[in-house]
Amino acid sequence: MSTLVIDKAGPTRKLGSMSRDRAWALRWSYFFLVLFAIFFLTPPVYMLITSLKSSAEISAATNPWWVFHPTLSNYVELLTSNQFLRFFWNSSIISIVVVIVTMLISIPAAFALARMKFWGSATLATGVFLTYLIPDSLLFIPLFKMLAMIQDFTGITLLNRWYVLVFIYPTLTVPFCTWIMIGYFASIPKELDEAAIIDGASWLQTLLRIFIPVALPGLIAATIFAFTVSWAQFLYPLVFTTSVDQLVLPVGITTTLIKGDVFNWGQIMTGALLGAAPPLIIYAFLMDYYIAGLTAGATKG
């Protein structure tokens, strides 16, 4: 029995100093995490509070951080408004199509740039990233002119149609997603595709059966990025669409709920909250699949 006690005492003391270090590290972590949480959660909380108020209460001189007469009327009004549902629908369909288009272009492009060494592939990979660095506020005028010219030549209506955004958003999403995927594909050991090649796989089979499953976390990161960019994009839809039935959510909320100098704050906040919901849901859903270290076991280590 006595040896058992001694055995226990030894490691406990060692663990003690270890855990003291750890405790301090944790304290600092919590301190900064709480600080950041307050910083980032204050606006949404304020939005939530405001969205539960009637217009009368918002303009009344009461404590803005408290709801005295909670009401869901803002939510009911927005969710029964065909206009708002139309914005929501436009945003959804555009974002989904853009994500699909982006993936269909980015994955093969990244695979080619990361693995099939060909003349100029390195330069091309850098070039892809550089295009992403050009701000959209510089691009929208030339893009508008281009689309106007195409429209004039072909007679196909492009401007002021929601689907024009499906062509424009990939100019933002494809370069960045390709860049992310190049990084992920490059981190896959070279021997893995050599093994696949010797096993008799074609390039396409190597991509579909080895690279995509192995780089799934990267694929999900790219998907989340493409979706977020499409969903939250403001400048391009503001420029390229004007009719109310063609608007997407961020533009729709600000253009229809602000009339002159009258701000319908309750509905603006409600609309913004509802608009933030889909990305949140998608994050929560995809995070389950976002398992880091999926390549563990492929090679040494």
DSSP 8-class letter at 263: E
CA dihedral for 206, 209, 215, 220, sign (positive or negative): positive
Q: Say which residue the tokens 């190597």 belong to.
A: 206
CB of 126 to other proteins, least distance (A): 22
Structure tokens at 178: 């390709």
CB of 186 to other proteins, least distance (A): 16
Judged by CB under 8 A, the residue of 29, 36, 41, 199 near other proteins is 199
Identify whether the C-beta of residue 91 lies closer than 8 Å to the C-beta of residue 227: no
Q: Which stretch binds other proteins (CB under 8 A): 17-25, 44-52, 148-156, 293-301?
A: 293-301
Name residue 261's amino acid: D
Name residue 23's amino acid: A
Could you say whether residue 189 binds other proteins (CB under 8 A)?
yes
Structure tokens at 57: 């209460």
Q: Which stretch binds other proteins (CB under 8 A): 94-102, 158-166, 186-194, 237-245?
A: 186-194
Which stretches within 52-169 are classed as H helix? 55-59, 73-79, 82-115, 121-133, 136-154, 164-168
Could you say whether residue 300 binds other proteins (CB under 8 A)?
yes
Site track for other proteins across 204-243, x = CB under 8 A? -x---xx--xx-----------------------------
Could you say whether residue 295 binds other proteins (CB under 8 A)?
yes
Between residue 70 and residue 89, which ones bind other proteins under the rule CB under 8 A?
A: none
Q: Could you give the CA distance from residue 42 to residue 47 in angstroms, rounded to a whole number?
A: 9
Closest CB to other proteins among 19 and 299? Answer: 299
Binding positions for other proteins, rule: CB under 8 A: 189, 191-192, 194-201, 205, 209-210, 213-214, 294-300
